[in-house]
Amino acid sequence: MCGICGIHAPGRVDPEVLRRMNRALVHRGPDDEGYYTDERVGLASRRLSIIDLQSGHMPIANEDDSVWVVQNGEIYNFRELRADLETRGHRFTTRSDTEVLVHLYEEHGSDLFSRLRGMFAIALWDRRRDLLLLGRDRVGKKPLYYSFDGRTLLFASEIKALRQHPDLDVSLDWQALNHYFSHHYVPEPLSIFREVRKLPPGHWLTLRGGALEVRPYWQLDFEHPRSETDEGWYMEQLREKLRDAVRARLVSDVPLGAFLSGGVDSATVVGLMQQLLDAPVKTFSIGFDAESFDELRYARVVAQAFGTEHHEEILQPDATDLVAKLVQQFDEPFGDPSALPTYLVSQMARRHVTVVLSGDGGDEAFAGYDSHRVQERDERFHRRVPAPLRALASGGLGLGARLSGQARWRRMARAVGRAHQPLPGRYSNVFDPGGRRRLFAAATLEQIGSMQEHEVFAAHAAAQRYPDFLSRVLAVDTATYLPGDILVKVDRMSMANSLEVRCPLLDQEVLEFAASIPSNLKRRHGVSKYIFKRVAEGFVPREIVHRQKHGFGVPLGQWFRAELRDLVREHLLHSSNGAHVLFNRRFVTHLVEEHEAGRWDWSVQLWALLMFHLWYERHGPQTRS
pLDDT digits (tens, 9 = 90+) for 433-472: 888 999 999 999 999 987 666 778 878 888 888 999 899 9
**Residue 51 in this model has a pLDDT that exceeds 60:** no
pLDDT digits (tens, 9 = 90+) for 270-309: 999 999 999 999 999 988 766 555 678 899 999 999 999 9
**Residue 387 in this model has a pLDDT that exceeds 70:** no
pLDDT recorded at residue 129: 95
Mean pLDDT of 429-434: 85
pLDDT recorded at residue 319: 72
Does residue 309 lie in a domain region? yes
Does residue 18 lie in a domain region? yes
For residue 120, the surrounding DSSP H or E stretch is: strand 118-126
Mean pLDDT of 250-277: 92
Same domain for 163 and 289, yes or no, is no
Mean pLDDT of 612-621: 90
Q: At what angle do helices 231-248 and 264-276 cross, to 10 degrees?
A: 70
Helix/strand/coil for 78: helix
pLDDT, averaged across the chain: 88
Does residue 617 lie in a domain region? no
What is the C-alpha end-to-end distance of the chain, expressed in Å? Answer: 24
Same domain for 197 and 250, yes or no, is no
Given 513, 545, 577, the domain boundary residue is 545
Q: Are 168 and 219 in contact (CB under 8 A)?
A: no
pLDDT recorded at residue 433: 84
Same domain for 273 and 178, yes or no, is no
Question: Tell me, what amino acid is at 28?
Answer: R
Helix/strand/coil for 70: strand
CATH label of the domain that carries residue 259: 3.40.50.620
Work out the burial of residue 260: count CB atoms within 10 Å of its CB; fewer than 13 is exposed, 13-18 middle, 19 or more buried: buried
pLDDT recorded at residue 56: 62
Does residue 373 lie in a domain region? no
More confident of the two residues 26 and 452: 26
How many Å separate Cα 202 from the centre of its chain?
14
Same domain for 333 and 481, yes or no, is yes
pLDDT recorded at residue 230: 93
Calpha distance 29→498 (Å, rounded)? 7
Calpha distance 109→94 (Å, rounded)? 22
Closest C-alpha to 340, from 482, 487, 493: 493
Does residue 139 lie in a domain region? yes
Does residue 355 lie in a domain region? yes
Given 545, 571, 595, the domain boundary residue is 545
pLDDT recorded at residue 295: 74
CA distances from 26 to 19, 20, 45, 95, 161 (A): 11, 10, 9, 23, 10
Helix/strand/coil for 86: helix
Answer left, alpha or beta for residue 589, where phi above 0 means left and psi between -120 and 50 means alpha.
alpha
CA distances from 294 to 259, 303, 555, 561 (A): 15, 16, 10, 20
For residue 202, which phi and psi values (nearest 5 degrees)? 65, 25
Same domain for 183 and 250, yes or no, is no
Same domain for 116 and 81, yes or no, is yes
Same domain for 242 and 166, yes or no, is no
| Lowest-confidence region among 150-159, 218-227, 392-401, 505-514 | 392-401
Mean pLDDT of 593-607: 89
CATH label of the domain that carries residue 147: 3.60.20.10
Mean pLDDT of 105-126: 96
Q: Which residues pair with 136 in a beta bridge?
A: 121
Mean pLDDT of 403-414: 58
Q: Are 25 and 33 in contact (CB under 8 A)?
A: no
Total count of residues recorded for the chain: 625
| Lowest-confidence region among 23-27, 366-370, 455-459 | 455-459
Given 512, 545, 578, the domain boundary residue is 545
| Lowest-confidence region among 54-63, 86-95, 353-362 | 54-63
Helices (H), 109-156: none
Same domain for 17 and 141, yes or no, is yes
Neighbours of 75 (CB within 10 A): 25
Catalytic pick among 2, 153, 413, 490: 2
Helix/strand/coil for 18: helix
Does residue 610 lie in a domain region? no
| Lowest-confidence region among 60-64, 205-209, 382-386, 459-463 | 382-386
pLDDT recorded at residue 554: 74
Calpha distance 574→582 (Å, rounded)? 15
Helices (H), 351-427: 362-366, 370-384, 387-404, 407-420
Range of the domain at 22: 2-216
Same domain for 28 and 169, yes or no, is yes
Same domain for 18 and 151, yes or no, is yes
pLDDT recorded at residue 276: 95
pLDDT digits (tens, 9 = 90+) for 166-190: 999 999 999 999 999 999 999 999 9
pLDDT recorded at residue 12: 84
As for how many domains the chain has, the answer is 2
Same domain for 111 and 156, yes or no, is yes
pLDDT digits (tens, 9 = 90+) for 143-159: 999 999 999 999 999 99
Mean pLDDT of 14-22: 95
Does residue 262 lie in a domain region? yes
Question: Does residue 503 have an active-site annotation?
Answer: no
pLDDT digits (tens, 9 = 90+) for 529-555: 999 999 999 999 999 998 877 666 677
Could you tell me the pLDDT band of residue 369, with boundaries at 50, 70 and 90? confident
Same domain for 174 and 244, yes or no, is no
Neighbours of 326 (CB within 10 A): 21
